[in-house]
Amino acid sequence: MSAPSGSSTAAAARRRTPVWAVLAVILGSLLMASSAAAIVGSRLLIERYTGDIQQQNLLAGAAKVTEPEREPLEGPITMLLLGVDERGSNPGDMRSDTIIILHVPATHDQAYLVSVPRDTWVEVPAFEPSGYEGGESKITDAFRSGSRDGAGRAGGAQLVALTLKELTGIEFDGAAIIDFSGFRDVIDALGGVRMCVDQRVKSQHMRLVDGKPTWLAEARQAGGGKELWHEEGCKRMAGWEALDYSRQRYGLPNGDYDRQRHQRQLIKAMISQASSRGVLTNPARLDEVITAAGKAFVLDTGGTPIADFIFTLRGITANDLVLVKTNNGEFNSAGFSSTAAERLTPESLAMLASIGAGTLDDFLLAHPEFVQED
């Protein structure tokens, strides 16, 4: 794989960009218009572009049950977002290397991104569709256990959701799965993103072959190639580079916690680029982004139209996005000698429980150290 080659008005446009831009990038329904007012009047356009997004049941028993007297999306809204690492050509060897909870409080005036460490040691419930009998494992392996015996990605997502529900009490309004190649294509369709590398790190997934970034397996077939390093500094990154950087954890002081931080930074960078006039005012670019996003995602909205999610949250701006870290962004070893696993601290479990209770706002006011500064 080879590498593809603010004015005050722009600032105002960014301030007006609603949080559906966040959902759109992540959920595969990126629908751009020149202003929030235009978006409000564009339900038919939204329905047109979201009509072909693949939808499956990703939540099973972890889906939120709405009380009969309440309207869908009334009150807090919580989504489960999974980035899938499909290793090689074996469809049964899939892990959810990225697990993010997107939470919007009942006021619908803010959005929180909460990372769950992939190596979190959890009790995984039995799951009949894949024949999994239950047991303890890393949460990233829960996806693999749920996806086997023909249950596929939907089964993997369901078992991760059920595991989180048992661990934290969270029930979800919806979920989305994206594979890493799909995420790369969305970034390229956006024209790349501006990222700042804060710690020099060597890629564990790619090497340079004749000066071109190449997946590790292909590089080995070509003779090995040279090490690929992400150097400190800010630059515009193509999809392959931004994705590769945000996936690194080995060689970083805080390992997976640094990776979680970089992944949340990538999402913010995508939002910033999606909000730029270069995308908003370019019909060809806009259509390319929408097409790439529509192909990249599998989505579960619990039967609620995607357009309803967008319109419910249209008043939230991208500036209202808050990044939340677990375990204070530091290692909390599970204490095993045979495997590198993490346990969530009591404070992190309380934070996650507050999402299920709809009180995350109050928790973060009392525990500001959970909010990521950058």
Q: What is the pLDDT of residues 98-118, one digit of tens each?
A: 898 989 898 888 889 898 988
Rounded CA-CA distance 272/371 in Å is 20
Report residue 22's pLDDT band, with 50, 70 and 90 as the boundaries.
Answer: very low
| Count of the separate structural domains present in the chain | 1
- Region 222-246 average pLDDT: 94
> Which residues, including other chains, have CB under 8 Å from residue 68's CB and lie 6 or more apart?
none
Per-residue model confidence (pLDDT) at position 2: 42
Rounded CA-CA distance 145/152 in Å is 10
pTM listed for this prediction: 0.78
Per-residue model confidence (pLDDT) at position 52: 60
Per-residue model confidence (pLDDT) at position 90: 52
pLDDT mean across residues, the chain: 80
Kindly state whether residue 1 falls inside one of the protein's structural domains.
no
Rounded CA-CA distance 20/26 in Å is 10
**196 pLDDT higher than 60:** yes
Question: 3-state DSSP helix/strand/coil percent for the chain, to nearest 5?
Answer: 45, 25, 35
Distance, first Cα to last Cα, the chain? 31
- Region 41-66 average pLDDT: 73
Instruction: Write out pLDDT tens, residues 308-329.
Output: 776 777 667 667 778 898 887 7
Locate the DSSP E strands across the chain: 54-55, 77-86, 94-104, 111-115, 121-124, 135-138, 174-179, 193-197, 201-209, 212-215, 226-230, 233-237, 297-300, 321-324
Per-residue model confidence (pLDDT) at position 182: 76
**145 pLDDT higher than 90:** yes
CATH assignment at residue 111: 3.40.630.190
Per-residue model confidence (pLDDT) at position 364: 93
Report residue 32's pLDDT band, with 50, 70 and 90 as the boundaries.
Answer: very low
Kindly state whether residue 2 falls inside one of the protein's structural domains.
no
Kindly state whether residue 3 falls inside one of the protein's structural domains.
no
Rounded CA-CA distance 98/165 in Å is 17
Per-residue model confidence (pLDDT) at position 35: 32
- Region 320-341 average pLDDT: 80
Lowest mean pLDDT among 150-159, 177-186, 282-291, 356-365: 282-291
Higher pLDDT, 91 or 41: 91
Yes or no: say if 338 and 70 are a contact pair by the CB < 8 Å rule: no
Number of neighbouring beta carbons within 10 Å of residue 363? 18
Report residue 5's pLDDT band, with 50, 70 and 90 as the boundaries.
Answer: very low
- Region 218-233 average pLDDT: 92
> Residue 269 belongs to what domain range?
8-370
**338 pLDDT higher than 50:** yes
Report residue 56's pLDDT band, with 50, 70 and 90 as the boundaries.
Answer: confident
Per-residue model confidence (pLDDT) at position 85: 64
Q: How far is CA 64 from CA 68, 70, 118, 274, in A?
A: 12, 12, 23, 30
Rounded CA-CA distance 57/82 in Å is 14
Rounded CA-CA distance 159/122 in Å is 12
**273 pLDDT higher than 90:** no
Kindly state whether residue 14 falls inside one of the protein's structural domains.
yes
Per-residue model confidence (pLDDT) at position 31: 38
Kindly state whether residue 31 falls inside one of the protein's structural domains.
yes
**9 pLDDT higher than 70:** no
Kindly state whether residue 102 falls inside one of the protein's structural domains.
yes
- Region 85-101 average pLDDT: 67
Number of neighbouring beta carbons within 10 Å of residue 335? 8
